[in-house]
Amino acid sequence: MKKMIWAAWVALFCYHGSANATLNVVATYGWIGDLVQQIGQERVAVTVLAQASFDPHFVPPKPSLAVKLRNADLLVINGGQLEMGWLPPVLRQASNARIQPNSEGFLDLSSLVTLSNPRPHATRADGDVHPDGNPHYVFNPDNMAALAYGVAHQLCHLDKAGCGFYEQSLARFDERWQKEKQGWQQRLLPLKGKQLVQYHESFDDLAYWLGMTVVANVEPVPGVPPSASHLEKLLKRLADQQVVMVIQEHFRDREATEWLAKQRQVKWQVLPSDVGATPKSKDLFSWFNELVERLAP
């Protein structure tokens, strides 16, 4: 019996570290984890905190998250207040001085790009808005070069011996991304100048990149689900708009957008909002491939 208890104890709590990698990197979301992996390759061990099938705004705080943060050398976050509702307490509970904000092992990717639509004077009556700007900047593929560069720079900063290695994989990643990006752009060219309706403000930057116009959000204000009467009003308001599609993220209730698309008899599409959200979205490239496939006319 004593032996069994001891074995259970060891199985439950036994220390395991990543043996070969030089850096332990924790990323808040799947796409960040994959970006770090693409640049760091075998020199990094990447752990992702959020579950891709869940809403990125509301990651359930769990003790296991504190454990993942405990031994990290680098924490890479999306920023723009996207993690504000869940990361600070688990970060505090991880008691890891290396990855606190303002320390060497902390990278806020939002600081590398220009966020669209900053609303520094918003109040909570405007809904769940992010004063720094729209934090869903990853949906504009033009941002990826700056993000990849930032990650490579940070990895090199923490792992001097690997600088040459990171430089090489950054160049490789950049080249492939630019090439794929052109393909995606070609594929979605027919959408240019068209109008769309989205559930939440997630796809502002995607629409911008495609040259599309977002004519309405289904949410009355960010973070507040629409009521039936709000949907009716929205439908009326859209009567004289030439909307071509209604889109939303995969983790939300689908009735509202589906109903709206049906009423307008336009394309209705549910998009994976992160790497790992669907079986096909394995990495950044396949994720964007899937986004493009689902958007393509």
Partner 1 sequence: MQQVGKSKLVILIAQLHLWKKQRENDMKKTKLSLAIGLLVAGFNAYASDDLSVLKAQIAAQQAQLEKMMQQMQALEAKAQQVEAKVTPTAAPASVTTEQKAASSYQGSLDQARAASRKLSDPVKVGGIKRNPFSGSNMNPDVAFILDGSYVNRSQSNSAYGALGMPGFFHELGGAHEGHAHGGGYNLNNGFNLNYGELVFSAAVDKYFDLFAVIHAGESGAALEEAYANTRSLPFNTQLKFGKFLSGFGRLNGQHHHYWDFADQPLIYQGVFGSHGLLEKGVQATWLAPTRNYLLFGAEALQGDNEQSFGTKAISVKSDKIFADKDTAFASQVDGAGLAVGFVKTGFDLGNTSWMAGASYGAGKMRLDHTSDEHGPHAKAGSVAITGLDLTGKYFLDATRYLMWQSEYIKRELTDGQVATYPSNSGGASDGLITPKLSQNQSGYYSQLIWKFAPQWRTGLRYDAIDQNSIKVAGTDKNTPYGDRNTVMVEYNPTEFSRIRLQYAQNGAFFTEENERKRFDEILLQFNMAIGAHGAHSF
Residues 230-289 that bind partner 1 (CB under 8 A): 251
* Among candidate residues 239, 236, 292, the one with its CA nearest the CA of residue 269: 292
Cβ distance to partner 1 smaller for residue 157 or 187: 157
C-beta of residue 242 within 8 angstroms of C-beta of residue 258: no
> Using CA of residue 176, residue 177, residue 178, residue 179, what is the dihedral sign?
positive
Q: State which of positions 111-140 bind partner 1 (CB under 8 A).
A: 111-114, 120, 124, 128, 132, 140
Give yes or no for residue 146 binding partner 1 (CB under 8 A).
Answer: yes
- Minimum distance of partner 1 from residue 139's CB (angstroms): 13
Query: How many residues line the site for partner 1 (CB under 8 A)?
Result: 83
Give yes or no for residue 105 binding partner 1 (CB under 8 A).
Answer: no
Q: State which of positions 6-35 bind partner 1 (CB under 8 A).
A: 12-16
- Minimum distance of partner 1 from residue 239's CB (angstroms): 28
Q: Which of 94, 234, 247, 256 binds partner 1 (CB under 8 A)?
A: 94
Q: Quick one: residue 133, left, alpha or beta (phi over 0 = left, psi -120 to 50 = alpha)?
A: left
As beta bridge partners, residue 213 has 195
Q: Which 3 state secondary structure label does DSSP give 92?
A: helix
Tokens 């027919």 -> residue = 190
* DSSP 8-class letter at 141: G
Give yes or no for residue 224 binding partner 1 (CB under 8 A).
Answer: yes
What are the structure tokens assigned to 105, written together? 């092992």
- For residues 184 to 223, the per-residue mask of contacts with partner 1, x marking binding by CB under 8 A and - elsewhere, is ------------------------x--x-----------x
- Minimum distance of partner 1 from residue 149's CB (angstroms): 6
Cβ distance to partner 1 smaller for residue 103 or 242: 103
* List of residues 6+ apart from 228 with CB closer than 8 A: none
Q: Which 3 state secondary structure label does DSSP give 225?
A: coil
C-beta of residue 189 within 8 angstroms of C-beta of residue 211: no
Q: In whole angstroms, what is the distance from residue 131 CA to residue 235 CA?
A: 29
Q: Which of 18, 41, 81, 263 binds partner 1 (CB under 8 A)?
A: 81
- Minimum distance of partner 1 from residue 265's CB (angstroms): 29
DSSP 153-177: HHHHHH-GGGHHHHHHHHHHHHHHH
Choices 26-34, 95-103, 239-247, 273-281; region in contact with partner 1 by CB under 8 A:
95-103
Cβ distance to partner 1 smaller for residue 128 or 180: 128
* Among candidate residues 29, 79, 91, the one with its CA nearest the CA of residue 59: 29
Q: State which of positions 152-181 bind partner 1 (CB under 8 A).
A: 152-154, 156-157, 160, 163, 166-167, 170-171, 175
> Using CA of residue 44, residue 49, residue 51, residue 52, what is the dihedral sign?
negative
Q: Which of 18, 53, 185, 269 binds partner 1 (CB under 8 A)?
A: 53
Give yes or no for residue 96 binding partner 1 (CB under 8 A).
Answer: yes
